[in-house]
Structures are given as C-alpha cells and as structure tokens.
Structure 1
Amino acid sequence: MILSRRHLLGSSAIGLAAAALPRSAAATSPRRTAPNLFIGTGGTGHTYPGATLPFGMVQLSPDTGVERWETCSGYYHSDGSILGFSHTHLSGTGIGDMLDLLVVPARGPVVLQPGTREKPETGYRQRYQDEHAEPGYYHVALDNGVRAELTVTERTGWHRYTFPAGAGHILLDLSHLVLDSSDSPPLIADALMEVEADGTITGRRQVFRWAKGRTIFFALQLSRQPDRITFYGDDDAEQPAGSRRVTGRRLKAVLHYADAGKAPILVRCGLSGVDVAGARASLVTEARHWDFDRTRRDATARWQPALDAIKVEGGTADQRTILSTSLYHAQLAPTLFSDVDGRYPGMDGQIHSVPKGGAAYSTYSLWDTYRALHPLLTLIAPDRTKSLVDDMIRQTAQSPYGPLVWPLQGKETGTMIGWHGVVPLAEAQAKGIEADYAAAWPAIRRRSFDFTAPDKDNSKGRDLYDRMGYVPADKWFESVSRTQEYAYDDWASSHLAAAIGEKGDAARLRERSGNWRNVIDSSIGFARPRFADGSWWTPYDPIQLGHMPKPWWRDYTEANGWQATFLNQHDVYGLIWHMGGDAKFEAKLDALFNAPSTLPDNAPPDISGLVGQYAHGNEPDQHAPYLYAYVGAAWKTQAMVRRLCVEMYRNDPDGIIGNDDCGQMSAWFVFSALGFYPVDPVEAAYVFGSPLFERAEVTVGNGRKLVIEAPGNRADTPYVAAVTWNGKPWTKSWIAHADLVKGGTLRFTMSAKPNPAFGRAPADRPPSNGRTPA
C-alpha cells in the first residue's frame, strides 16, 4: 500500500488542461456536510475515528493494533478486530504513543492477553460490525454481542456498554501501549491501580515510549458497581482475593458482573497529567450526571461552530465531505493538557498553573503544523490561536531546551530538526495576535546563540552553522535540511526580536537567515551536501538521501536532493536569483514535477504521494506548487494545486496520501480548496492557487465573514482568468492576511484555459523576505 500510493502520480502535472479530471456535480445550496471520520484511518493517514472534542484532552477511540507502523494511532481500518477502547490517541503522526487505559467489554472466560490480528479468538480481541463515527460520538457492535458507545467531554471519556442477557465483565488493561511486546524492555516504569472508598477506580502509569517519562493519572467511575474486582500484576499474576490495590508495570483489573445484561453499564473516566486529584476534579466538574445521551448532545454542539467555520457550495459530494473532514482533523491538536484548576506538568519537571482563563496544551507537531495548521487556526479561530500562543510562550520559557520542537504530555521529544516553535509565535505576532512575546525571548535567544545549551538532536551543529554558515555533512547527519531549517527559524526569530526591540539580535538573525545559500550549489541548481573543507559531495545524485551508506546518516530530513532544493520559504527571490533567475527557476520547478518518480531503497515511507519528485505526502516541499507565482507563472500553480486537491485526497479510509501529521495534510487541503496558501506564514500573505468550490463562506473572527466566489467553477476550469476583491479588480497573485481578516468578497473568474498574464508583472508577484521583485 505504501509503494502504490507513493508512486500513484507519475505523469506530468504542468499540462493539466489535457489531464483527465472528474467533472463536478452541479452546485448545491448551502448546507452542512458531515465529515467522514474514517478518512485517513487506512493507508498511511494514521488517524483515528473515535470521540473527542476540538483540541480536547481525551481522545476515546477503538484500538485495533499496537505493533505496526500502520497503527501509530492505535487504529487501522482493515484490521478486522478491536482490542478495546483507550482514552488518548495521536492523530496522523508517524510515531506512536498514548493509548492510555484500555477498556475491554467481554463475556465468557476471563482472557488477559489480546490475541493476534490473524486469530483474534485467541485473546480478548473481538471482530465487529455496524461501526459508526461522528464528531464527539462512536459506536460499534462487537461479535461477543456487546454494543459499545463512546462520547466525551474535554477531560473525561464516557463509555456505554449494552451487554446481552447474562454475565459479563470489563477488563481494564493499563499495560496496553504502542509497539510493545513481551520481550521489549519495560516501557512502563511505574503503575498503580486501586479502588477507593467510594468505588472510584484510580491509578497512574509512567511511560517511556516516545515521550520519555510522561505520566498519566485517571479516575474511573461506574454506573453499576461490579459484583467483584480482580486485580492482576506483572506477568498477569492474580492478586489475592479482595485486593483493592496493585502496583507494578503491567497491570490489569477485571470488573465482574453476574447480570451484565440487566441494564447498560456506563463508564466515565477523568484524566490528568498532574495527579489523581486532578483526574477526580475532571469528573466532578465535567461529569455531574449519568446521562450518556446528554453528554453526546453536548459534544455534538461543541463541534458545530468549529465545523461551521467554513461552508462551501459546489464541487462534488465527495469533495465537500473531504473539506469538512479536513476541517475536523485540523481541530484535533494541539490537545488540552491542563486540569480544571489550571495545573499542568511543565517540561522543566515542575507543576505550573495557567492564569485564569488560560490553558496548557500538548501534542505540538511543529515541524509539520507551522506550515498550514497554525496559519489556518489564526485565520478561522484567532481566539484559539491566542490561547495556543500564550501557552507556547509559557512553555518556551519553562523548557530547558527553549523553543518548542515536538512536546508531548509535558515531555520534549525533540522530534525532527530545528526549533520551529518560534514560527507560530512570529506568525501570530505578524498577524496582530497580542501576547507577551518578550517573555519567550531569553529562551529563544539561548537556542539561537548559546551553543552549549542542552539539545535533543534537533539542533545539532548550531555552532558550525553560526561560524561556517552551514552544517557540514561530514560532521552531522541531515546537514542540508538542518542548514535550511535553522535559517528559517532565524528568519522567524528575527521578527520576534525586532517586535520587542532587540534590534542587534534581529539584525544578526536576519543576516544568518541567509545561510540557506551555502547548501544550494548554484552551479547545478540543487541542494547538495557540503563538507567541512568547503567541497561538495560528488558524484551528486539528487534522488539519493545522502552521501553515507548508513541509512541513518542522511543528508536530508525525510527528503532527497530534489525536495530539499525547494525547502526555502522565506527568501524565494533570493533562491530564484541564486539559481539563475526566473526562467531557470521555472524550468527547475517543471523538472521537479516531471522527473521520474523513483526513490532509493532506503527511502522512508514518509516520502509519498509523488508527482515527479515532488512528494505531497510529506511536509518539506508542500509549498512548492505555489512557487510558480514568484516567477510570474501563476497559471502553473493553479494547475498543480487543482490536481493535488483532486488526486491526493479521497473520501475513503485510504484518503490521505501520507501521515496527516496532527492536521497539517488536512490544513493544506482546506487552504488550497479555498484558493490560497501561506507559503511563508511569517510573511502574513497568501498566494493564490485554484479554488475547488463555487462558493465558500469563512468565519474569520469577530463575526466577520470572508466570502470566496468562483461561479461556474468545474473540474475542467482549474485556471484563474481574473480576480476581484470587494468588487474591484485585483491583479496580484496574492493577498495579505490583514485584508482577508477584515472580511469581504474574493471572487475568482475561472477558465478552462490558462491566463499567463495574470500575476505576471513583477509588481503583482507575492512578497518574500519583505520584498517583491518589482
């Protein structure tokens, strides 16, 4: 499946007018389109279908597996059996974790092991049917006769299990986690379960999977108390009868009901990253009754304004479903991680509290989401962006590593490279989100200039980057990507420094943000590994991932020379000049999209969704289709963007061409389907592409509406002939964020034929590095 989707698109994308595209259905009247929560649950999307709220702490969802890359989220659509239902999940990531406290409704003899996907009957797995998912609610019929239903509040998960007549039991498996097996080193260092005096089952576990040492606490209550509870310790050792407490690493409990079918059994479980008291407080505050249907209705109501932020007409029914699903996926993370009293675990190992009205968050997939997810939230949910920015500033100041990289439940995973937590801050500042940016500056400055500061692999070689102007390929792995991504973080940090009056630091960072030039060999027009003596890797092959035979020592991060060549987002005109001017740059872009879609055997599966050597299934060059606008060939951007919207996304479990990465792939679709995209979020400008629908209404904050019209838009009209803004002709191939957030009407005249004159004049091209080529 990975290979087939990786090489799905191998033909030329530039001659789109000749390509076969499905013809859209007639425009429909405005109405809400329900999302399909199973999009992305197959292929390599790595999404989950269970119940959660927008940015909620609890993600209560079924788990089908834990030992394969396909099940990073715990769920894979074609697995055919369900292990049970756990309370925390990651959406779309390429690394797995979470799956805290698995709940398994069961009948018959007690079975403590899950069994295999091939033979679920050997364990507590169950085949299933009648599976349904909608925002805030999930249900499924298990083959053991139990009907399982799930819903949530922000910090509590709600289960309703309807058993057939007779006995049954509920297994609580606190040993369940991603990619674990019986011969693994102990990934759970400390766990506890106990029954308290009021019947509440509480506990904790500390996990060393991806976020090393994260600790989760829970408090679980039952609408019907069990007849008895049996605890099991390590190696499934049964504890003495009547035990009310068990400690160890791999813990389980079984709740026995002699007449489970007498009435539905409700389970409600509160979570906390701080302590059991915090988990109990979640229940006290958010679970004050036992009305499952009321909680479900409340969850549905919480989702409506989030999903109503964008409404569309036109396109096909599938495209409207993909849009609503993308909007849903774009509002799952970052996830809430502060208790009802505001406490949260900081990355300094201390417990902190947010100010009244504030919130702390987890699951910042920043290497991915700075590109489109955070800009989308800034546009459609500025209040949420304000909350996230305030949190990122606090956590930046508290973290021993400074700017956020990939924090998960109070632990900095340091995943990927760079320190891209500065980008959403700089973007928000540029777009008028008020916050105390100066409070984050000492930590940002330390990451930028103190080369003895602690590191987690994400910023290796900063000293060489500062002294030599690049990271040498014979000193550090992923050197080409490091140099370019450090340069982008310098660009973002320079804006923050200037905004708070640190002019000297701003100047130094802005100058250093030009270091990208030192790994782009202008003689061949490619990003190329460079060694400490100044020489380039030879013989050079842009298809390869690096000069070293060892697969882990790559010169690019989840990319090759083709994709890394277009990594630059903040100095596009500098890149164009460096590569020989408009004509050569345009030809190089053409070559990117038309090169053979071949990859070396050691390429990671993340490099997927190939059009030539452009890889839409991964983030490094997702802005590349929009770069044509910078050389005055906006029509080529329009052609490619429309093709990607049509071919890379489907209303199907295998409907996302790569990992959704906490909503980044989905956010790309949302922006591109609307007709514009933030190539450089810090520039606070959007480059036009090709709108997919005839009409869109976008809520942009403070009750303002942005209306995007493309009357008569069809599958065979991907080109923009003309644009008006609030009724006046608009010749530019871009528009500023400051204009769009005022509200108004952006109208595209679409055509089956390209208009090469649109956006051709230098004065009409998008700004980059604060300038245009005019």
Structure 2
Amino acid sequence: MFRANRRELLAGSALVALGSTVPAMAAAPDTMAGKPDLFVGTGGHGHTFPGATLPFGMVQLSPDTNNFGWDACSGYHQSDRSIMGFSHTHLSGTGIGDMLDVLVVPTRKPLALAPGTTQDPDAGYRQRYSEEHAEPGYYRVRLESGVLAELTATERTGLHRYTFAKGPAHILIDFAHCKQETAEELVRIEDASLQIDRNGVLSGSRQVFRWAEGRRIHFAMQLSRKPDRVQFFGDDDKPVAAGASRVAGHRLKVALFFDDAGSAPILVKTGISAVDVAGARQALAEVPDWDFNRVVSVARRTWAQELDLVRVSGGTPAQRTIMASALYHSFMGPTLFSDRDGRYVGLDKTVHTLPAGEFAYSAYSLWDTYRALHPLMTLIRPDMARRFVHDLIRQTQQSPDGPPTWPLQGYETGCMNGWHSVVVLAEAQAKGIDADYAAAWPNIRRRAFDAGFKDNRATLGRGEYMKLGYIPADKVKESVSRTQEYAYDDHAMAIIADAVGAKQDAAALRKRSGNWRNVIDPSIGFARPRFSDGRWWTHYDPIQLGHMPQPRWRDYTEANGWQATFLVQHDLYGLIDHFGGDAAYEKKIDSFFNGPSTLPANAPPDIAGLVGQYAHGNEPDQHAPYLYAYVGAPWKTQAMVRRLCTEMYKDDPDGVIGNDDCGQMSAWFILSALGFYPVDPTTGVYVFGSPLFDTAELRVGEGKTLRVRAVGNAPDRPYVQSVRWNGRPWTRNWIAHRDLIQGGELEFTMGARPSRFGTAREDRPPSPRNT
C-alpha cells in the first residue's frame, strides 16, 4: 500500500512541490504492458537497483545503500533506509557483487570520510532519505540534509542534478568505495589516482581486485559550477596539502566545497571508460551541455521504444506492471563495454579497436541467460542478439580460456561451470543470425578436445570428463552438475562444428553429449554422484547437495539431486527412455513437483521458490515445467506454468523469487506469460505453455508483428483447448522460431479443463537424439 500511494503522490503535482522541472512520465494506457516499477526486485533477494541507465548502457547511475553482504550485490536494498551516495556502475540481479565505481556524496552535513553503517548512519556520510521516485532513465530522492538529488544517464555518462538549500555544502567523491563481502574486508585497489586540471575536470583511474579481479575503471567528471575549495585525501584519509591538484595511492577521496551551494543547482556529469581517462573524457561528449531535462527526455524516449516491443492486454493491473518491469530488467544487460572511439579491453587484457558499427559488451551471466534472456533477444531484438554474438565470437578468439563463461569488465570470472557462450552461439546459428562462427571455432575446438587446454574454475575436471565420460565426485566439486553442463556444451559445440564444416568433430561431440547418462542412475532414477572407480554414492539422498559433509564440497551446482535429475535439455527422448518410457518419466516429474519442499541445512539461498523440489528461484530446472509436453501430458505444463507466473512474481520490492540474474528470471516470465518457452534454445523451437494475457503484440523484426491471442482466458481457465496459427488449425504443441519471426497471429483457445491438444506423439516437441 505504501508503494502504491507513493507512486500516486509522485505522479503529478508533487513534482512541482519537490522543485523539479522534469515533466511527469506519461501514463501508459491499459492496452500496453503498463509502466515498469523499478523497485521490483530491490527487496528480498532480487538484487536489482532503481537508478538511471539506458538499455544495455555502460553507466548505471544509482544510489548505494550498502556495499557489503549478499543483498548488496547491486549496491541497493530496499530495507537499508539510508543512502551512502550515488555510484556509476552496478550489476543487476547477480548473486556475486562487484562495481559500484565513483561514489558521489552530495550533503550539507559536516565533512565525513567514512560512510557509517546501516545501523548507525549518523556515524558517517550516510543519509536517510524520503520522497524516492524512479522511472526508466530517471531517479530522484530527497536526502536528510535537504539535498534533492536527481539522476539520469546516456550510454557512457551519468548526469546528476543536486538542488541544495541556501548555505554551504560539499560533494565528496569516494574513490575507495566498491563492493565488499564483509564490513571488515578491504578490497585491494591498485594504481589509484585523482587529479583536477585547470579547466576544472576531475579525473581518476584505479585497478580493483574483486570478482573481476584486476579490472580497471577510469572516469572524467565536470561540474556546472566551480567549487570554492578542493581537498584531496590519500590513503588512511590523510589530507593532501592545501592547493594540491592530484593525489595517488590506493584508497583516495576528494571533497568539493561550495560556500553557497544553494544559489543554483549543481550539475555533475561523469564519463567512464575501462580503457583510459581519454576514453572517459570522450564519453562526456554525450552530454555537450547542461540541459538535464533534455537528457531525461532522450532517456525516456529510448526506454519507451524498448518497452513498446511487447504490448499486452488482459490480466490484472499488477500482472501488467510485472510484465513491464520484467521487460525493463531484461533490457539492462549485457552492458556496453566499448568507448566512443571503438576501443575496449579484450579478455587477453589488451586494448583492441572495433570496426565501425561493432560494439563490445560485458556482464554476460551466461549460465543463467542462455536459457531465456538470449532467446528473448533473438525474438524481439535480433539486432542486439547479433551484436552479442559478434562480441562473443571476438571474446572467444581473444580469451586464453576459450569460449567465455562469465566475462565481466574484460576479465573472465570463471563463475558457475561450463562455457555456455557456445550455447548462445549455437542458438543464434540455428536461428539464422549471420556471424563468422568459423572465427571462433579454433578456440572452441581447443576447449572441446585439448585435455591440456588451461582450465579455470568453470572448466575443472575436463580431463576426467574426456577420459571417463563423467567427472568423479571424489576428485572434483560439483561433479554431477559439471558432467551434465559439459554434455550440453558438447551438444552446442556440435552444432557449431556442423555449421563450420567440421563434420568429424561434430560427430564426436554429439556422441559425447550423451555423457549425462553416466551420472543419472536408472536403477534409482536420479542424478547421482559417481566415484573414480565407477561406484555410485551408496548412501544416496536426493535432498542432499552431495556425498561430503563439508558445506562447500557439493556434487551439484546450486541444486540438489532432485533438481539436477532434470538438468538435461538436449536429449529429452533419450532421457525419457533412460527412465523407462513416457509413463515412468511423467510419474517422475509428478514426484518432483508434488514432493515435500524440504532442503538440507547447508542449502544455498539460491535454491528458492520451491514447488515440491522444483526451485523456480534458480536456473538449473527452470525448463522442467515444460517437460510434460514431451510425454504427452501438456495440460500439466499449462497448469504449472500458469501457477508459477501468478505465484512467483509480484509487483513489489520482494517481487522476484531469487536473484533476477541479469534478466533471466524476468525473461522466463515474459516468454512464459506469452505462452511459449525455449526448453532447448539450440533447437530453434518453443514449447507451448499457458498464455497469461488475453492479447499480446510483439515486434519481431522490421515491420513484422506477432500477435498472440488467448480466447476465453481467465484465472481459472489455464488449459489450452486448441491453437490456430494465422487462422489455420495447429495441432503441434510447439512452434518454430522461423515461423514466429515472420509475424502473424497465434491464437489459443483456453478452457477450465485439460484437453487432448498436443498429446499425440507426432505433435510433441522435437528433441535431437544424441548417442
């Protein structure tokens, strides 16, 4: 209720009362997806942030309420209730934190160089806040010292506007601020420097050793008014001599003092670059003047175009808000990483220059996003999908680790397991996205067949996998999940090998992609740890995360035996046969969704959103609701998908079950609410579920529109009775990407009871048999 009242308050006349001249965002008609709520996911464990950014932009200018702990991964949590300041880079929805670069603290309080704590904000420069408002491309808040802070952004530059009361104030730049794991930890910062030139441009550089260990950030900052005094602070907050124009060290800060800060608003524009300060200075050209309202208007128009790609009607107002919010979060990344002149830092740690019209990107959460986010892009933003594919090919060529796993800011984090960039490439190739896949093949092939190729955290156990056909649980952590993930990557690499003419390699990889069988024991019907001598774990319990009592030695990746049992996407009919046929597999899925939702004490918080043992809040089993379609029971998929769409998402800060994972959770909702989902993105087909809205319109290409209708839809009518495609009866329980991108009308007729639609064997979704 509080948030609804706040939105109503800030939508109209309150804007004048706050002293802002930014016009209110126009109300969206009910026939559209509605307005996104940028606070969805900022509570619970969603790990999103509400600040200003552009679609796929390099700058994410947002308030930081905390910089340590799991729920500070994005720098913001709705429960913290005090703001440290406003930094320029953030991750959206991740389970590990980094970034939070160049913190700006506008205040009328006495100068403090430490932030204080959420429990005691008065102990430092933190400020309580009120009157918070956020919309795409614009953020505003009133700080307790009386400062009205407004934020907007271009692709590479953040623009602040601070309105002070009469009298003295200062703006602190805390260049030591960054994401930490604990309050006591001091993240290693090297080669830090700050300087101000004779024109008043403040610039700085530093190297940060956090998640992307060793990444560099450079900034250039201009102010609309010259400060009356400038004071630099070096390591241990030691002040530099008065009148100094630079400082070097590790943990640096600078305070800009204004004797009468309230005489006019103070605007701050900050360009950033991962290459050098010159690149950051070039970024400032994106804001050639001090017209804050103009930048806001451009940002709003840019976001309006993105959000207009999907229009829906029907459902509830809350569901339309959820859809708009999910679209917003899906368009936040991967994030731009190349400068205006085309320079960027490759995974080989050297600076490259792109050809005209090409772009580099960062923050690829590939273990998550290959499942739904990238397929969503191929459907409604094929131009961006093409950019990402070209970029991932370059990264594959340049990386000493081969195909990327989780690249961030020019560094391979090696987070999660597998190298699922090959899945994104295989999906794009299967869906006709033009790219030089052959350029990536040499390094992909090395990862596929060279046992001596360098391993990182994501690729451990490859030698055993190639020798034994599985990863032994007594040798490598997360052995079961790794075996399954590597098998899926083998499948994806086989598709790429075929595309580049490497037929023998494709055949070998396709055969090896069946290695999932070696960790799914048909005698008990579960994914089960296996040891070097071929023995299975004897005292098996599918609720447990592994055979070792140590919390950090697990046989599964953010999953237990139940969830990992369904981690096969590419060989579903082989998996069904492995379980004994349709009836046995359907019974297994029933048990999965209907069993007790118990977890061991050492289960990570990522395993969330339980329905039975199904965990919607994490990715390994998110395709599982659609598996009923492969055994002729699609009505069970329809009922479960409708349930998940209505129970797992809310128009509330705690509105995302689990981390949003760079838009993956949001993309799952978008596709499922539209009525279809890519169980295996590399096949180029979508399995039907249960459309949530009465109508939806998607722009799927230049001048092409896909219209989805659900006739007779209602909360108690989730079951598909029949389907028509462009006016003709459609019996298949799936549809191909090549059909949808031509545009047309997909019509579902819904009912209150299950039907026989899509149950015939010939109408079930295709899945390649890999042997």
Q: TM-score range by the shorter chain?
A: over 0.9
> Counterpart of 2:18?
none
Shift of residue 29 of structure 1? 5.3
- TM-score normalised per structure 1: 0.95
SS in 2 for 1:371: coil
> Counterpart of 2:204?
203
Post-superposition Cα deviations, 1:13-51, rounded to whole Å, max 9, x if no partner, equal xxxxxxxxxxxxxxx852351100000000000000000
Aligned positions of 1:272-291 closer than 5 A? 272-284=273-285, 286-291=286-291
Aligned positions of 1:430-579 closer than 5 A? 430-579=430-579
Shift of residue 67 of structure 1? 1.6
Seen in structure 2, the aligned counterparts of structure 1 residues 567 and 186 have a Cα distance that, compared at 3 Å, is: closer
Aligned positions of 1:124-523 closer than 5 A? 124-179=125-180, 183-284=184-285, 286-523=286-523
| More moved, 708-717 vs 238-247 | 708-717
> Counterpart of 1:716?
716
- Give 1:758's aligned amino acid: F
Shift of residue 703 of structure 1? 1.6
Shift of residue 770 of structure 1? 6.3
Verify the 8 A CA contact 1:683 1:770 in the aligned structure 2. Answer: no
Post-superposition Cα deviations, 1:235-272, rounded to whole Å, max 9, x if no partner, equal 10011000100111111000000000000000000000
| More moved, 380-389 vs 458-467 | 458-467
Shift of residue 583 of structure 1? 0.3
Give the whole-Å Cα distance in 1 for the aligned partners of 2:459 and 2:99: 26
| More moved, 178-187 vs 444-453 | 178-187
| More moved, 114-123 vs 646-655 | 114-123
> Counterpart of 2:24?
none
> Counterpart of 1:765?
764
Post-superposition Cα deviations, 1:572-618, rounded to whole Å, max 9, x if no partner, equal 00000001100000000000001110100010000000000000000
Verify the 8 A CA contact 2:365 2:406 in the aligned structure 1. Answer: yes
Post-superposition Cα deviations, 1:523-564, rounded to whole Å, max 9, x if no partner, equal 110000011111100111000000011111100000000000
Verify the 8 A CA contact 2:430 2:682 in the aligned structure 1. Answer: yes
CA RMSD of aligned residues (A): 1.0
- Give 1:763's aligned amino acid: E
Verify the 8 A CA contact 2:545 2:603 in the aligned structure 1. Answer: yes
Shift of residue 711 of structure 1? 2.5
Give the whole-Å Cα distance in 2 for the aligned partners of 1:770 and 1:581: 15
- Give 2:111's aligned amino acid: V
- Give 2:384's aligned amino acid: R
Give the whole-Å Cα distance in 1 for the aligned partners of 2:436 and 2:677: 27
Seen in structure 2, the aligned counterparts of structure 1 residues 183 and 35 have a Cα distance that, compared at 3 Å, is: closer
SS in 2 for 1:602: coil
Shift of residue 306 of structure 1? 0.8
Post-superposition Cα deviations, 1:417-438, rounded to whole Å, max 9, x if no partner, equal 0010101100000000000000
> Counterpart of 1:668?
668
Give the whole-Å Cα distance in 1 for the aligned partners of 2:512 and 2:543: 28
- Give 2:443's aligned amino acid: A
Aligned positions of 1:8-157 closer than 5 A? 30-31=31-32, 33-157=34-158
Identity of aligned residues (%): 66
- Consecutive unaligned residues of structure 2, counting only runs of 5 or more, are 1-28
Give the whole-Å Cα distance in 2 for the aligned partners of 1:598 and 1:148: 46
Give the whole-Å Cα distance in 1 for the aligned partners of 2:447 and 2:284: 40
Give the whole-Å Cα distance in 2 for the aligned partners of 1:217 and 1:177: 14
> Counterpart of 1:745?
745
Verify the 8 A CA contact 1:186 1:249 in the aligned structure 2. Answer: no
Give the whole-Å Cα distance in 1 for the aligned partners of 2:711 and 2:592: 32
| 1:725 maps onto 2:725 in alignment | yes
Post-superposition Cα deviations, 1:475-503, rounded to whole Å, max 9, x if no partner, equal 11100000000000000000000001000
> Counterpart of 2:609?
609
Verify the 8 A CA contact 1:136 1:296 in the aligned structure 2. Answer: yes
Give the whole-Å Cα distance in 2 for the aligned partners of 1:649 and 1:748: 23
Give the whole-Å Cα distance in 2 for the aligned partners of 1:747 and 1:185: 57
> Counterpart of 2:581?
581
> Counterpart of 2:657?
657
SS in 1 for 2:36: coil
Give the whole-Å Cα distance in 2 for the aligned partners of 1:769 and 1:348: 36
Verify the 8 A CA contact 2:178 2:187 in the aligned structure 1. Answer: no
Post-superposition Cα deviations, 1:144-203, rounded to whole Å, max 9, x if no partner, equal 100000000000000000000111000000011112667535421221110012110000
- Consecutive unaligned residues of structure 1, counting only runs of 5 or more, are 1-27
The number of aligned residues is 742
Post-superposition Cα deviations, 1:371-427, rounded to whole Å, max 9, x if no partner, equal 000000000000011111101000110000010100000000000000101011000
Verify the 8 A CA contact 2:33 2:323 in the aligned structure 1. Answer: no
Shift of residue 453 of structure 1? 1.2
> Counterpart of 2:678?
678
Verify the 8 A CA contact 1:180 1:187 in the aligned structure 2. Answer: no
SS in 1 for 2:698: strand
Give the whole-Å Cα distance in 2 for the aligned partners of 1:146 and 1:466: 61
Shift of residue 455 of structure 1? 1.6
Verify the 8 A CA contact 2:180 2:187 in the aligned structure 1. Answer: no
- Give 1:764's aligned amino acid: D
Seen in structure 2, the aligned counterparts of structure 1 residues 688 and 225 have a Cα distance that, compared at 3 Å, is: same
SS in 2 for 1:700: strand
Post-superposition Cα deviations, 1:196-219, rounded to whole Å, max 9, x if no partner, equal 121100001110010000000000
- Give 1:387's aligned amino acid: R
- Give 1:568's aligned amino acid: V
Shift of residue 748 of structure 1? 0.4
Give the whole-Å Cα distance in 1 for the aligned partners of 2:232 and 2:414: 37
Seen in structure 2, the aligned counterparts of structure 1 residues 183 and 605 have a Cα distance that, compared at 3 Å, is: closer
Give the whole-Å Cα distance in 2 for the aligned partners of 1:205 and 1:102: 13
SS in 2 for 1:686: strand
Post-superposition Cα deviations, 1:315-365, rounded to whole Å, max 9, x if no partner, equal 000000000100110010100000000000011011001110000000000
- Give 2:333's aligned amino acid: A
Seen in structure 2, the aligned counterparts of structure 1 residues 32 and 670 have a Cα distance that, compared at 3 Å, is: closer
Aligned positions of 1:639-658 closer than 5 A? 639-658=639-658
Give the whole-Å Cα distance in 1 for the aligned partners of 2:696 and 2:657: 24
- Give 2:31's aligned amino acid: P
Give the whole-Å Cα distance in 2 for the aligned partners of 1:374 and 1:255: 43
Seen in structure 2, the aligned counterparts of structure 1 residues 106 and 389 have a Cα distance that, compared at 3 Å, is: same
> Counterpart of 2:26?
none
Give the whole-Å Cα distance in 2 for the aligned partners of 1:109 and 1:548: 54
Post-superposition Cα deviations, 1:732-751, rounded to whole Å, max 9, x if no partner, equal 11000010000010000011
Give the whole-Å Cα distance in 1 for the aligned partners of 2:572 and 2:360: 35
Give the whole-Å Cα distance in 1 for the aligned partners of 2:52 and 2:703: 28
Verify the 8 A CA contact 2:219 2:273 in the aligned structure 1. Answer: yes
Shift of residue 452 of structure 1? 1.2
Verify the 8 A CA contact 1:83 1:126 in the aligned structure 2. Answer: yes
Q: Which has the higher contact order (CA 8 A, sep 6+)?
A: 1
Post-superposition Cα deviations, 1:91-147, rounded to whole Å, max 9, x if no partner, equal 000000000000000113211110110111111111111100000000001111000
Give the whole-Å Cα distance in 1 for the aligned partners of 2:316 and 2:712: 13
